[in-house]
Chain A
Amino acid sequence: MLRGVGITKRFGGVTALRNVSFEVGAGELVGLIGPNGSGKSTLFGVISGFHPPDDGTVFFDGRHITGARPHTVAQLGIARTFQIVRPFTGMTVVENVRVGALYGRGERRIAVADRHARELVEFVGLEQRADTLARNLTLAEKKRLEIARALSIQPRVLLLDEVFAGLNPTEVRGAIDLIARIRSQFGVTIIMVEHVLKALMETCERIIVLSYGEKIAEGAPSAIAADPHVISVYLGKTYAAR
Chain B
Amino acid sequence: MEKKAVRVAYGEALVKLGEKNDKVVVLDADLAAATMTNAFKKAYPDRFYDCGIAEANMVDMAAGMSTMGLIPFCSTFAVFAGRNYDQIRNGVCYPKFNVKFGFSHAGITLGEDGGSHQAIEDLALMRVLPGMTVFVPSDANECYQCVDAAAKIDGPVYIRTARLASPVYDPRPFTVGKGTVIKDGKDCVIFTCGIMLEHTLEAVDLLSQQGIDAALVSFHTLKPFDEELAREYTAKCKKVFTVEEHSIIGGLGDTVASAVIGHGVEKFMKIGINDVFGQSGKPADLLIEYGLTGTQIADKIKNNL
A binds B: no
**Residue positions of A touching B, CB distance < 8 A:** none
